[in-house]
Amino acid sequence: MKSNLITRIFRRIIFPRMKGEFLQSINNSNPSVLDVGCGNDSPSLIKSILPSCVYTGIDVSDYNQTKTNVADNYISVFPDVFSDEILKMSNSFDVVLSSHNLEHCNKREETLLAMIKALKPKGRLYLSFPSEKSVKFPSRQGTLNYYDDNTHKDLPPSYEKVLEILKENNMSVLYSTISHKPFLPWLIGCLTEPISKIKNKTNYYTWCYYGFQTIIWAEKTK
């Protein structure tokens, strides 16, 4: 119990408003979870926070899964039918997460609408994606400028357009920021920026210093 409390406090201080804190805010002992773009060991992270959740992950490949896949359901599909597969799961989930996925999608608006439809009433949505401002950030290994990642499509997702789509589709926005700059990580990023610049490498604190991420939490009203 003590270690769990320490972890919760750590996430709130160092990773505020990000996926971990969002998951900790879910008041459901065994929620159904859809993880859209579930690479980078996301199944393990989510199960560590919500061990009793019924987890479904969907992606276009088995990307960077270094740990045992603990997903209850794991769906791999072709990019062109990605949004169609999500649409098949309408009204099925208490939680839908999309962490740095929209910028890779061929059909962004269709994918976002499908995620909204996948939620049950009162279900919650977490979105994160590169800020529109990132097109003007310096280029750096690990992605700081939007175009550092050649799998990013077109321009970054439009913050205002995403909010508009959410509000038009019975979603109440609980939290949103176009440039995520929490104070302590921002300060660490500020202090380590010379090192990041010299080494030409970016990390989470660099992202916070520049405000690389847009983050949105929302709830389906009906």
pTM: 0.93
Number of domains in the chain: 1
In angstroms, the first-to-last Cα distance of the chain is: 35
> Does 117 fall in a domain?
yes
CA 97 to chain centre: 6
Average pLDDT, the chain: 93
Distance CA 41, CA 30 (A): 20
Mean pLDDT in residue range 90-115: 97
* pLDDT tens figures, 131-184: 999 999 999 999 999 999 999 999 999 999 999 999 999 999 999 999 999 999
Q: Pick left, alpha or beta for residue 186 (phi over 0 → left; psi -120 to 50 → alpha; otherwise beta).
A: alpha
> Does 169 fall in a domain?
yes
* pLDDT tens figures, 34-75: 999 998 789 999 999 999 999 999 998 776 666 667 899 999
Quote the domain boundaries for residue 89. 2-133+154-182+212-220
> Does 75 fall in a domain?
yes
Distance CA 76, CA 160 (A): 30
> Does 139 fall in a domain?
no
* pLDDT tens figures, 177-221: 999 999 999 999 999 999 999 999 999 999 999 999 999 999 999
Distance CA 178, CA 34 (A): 24
pLDDT reading at 7 higher than 90: no
Q: Decide: helix, strand or coil at residue 50.
A: coil
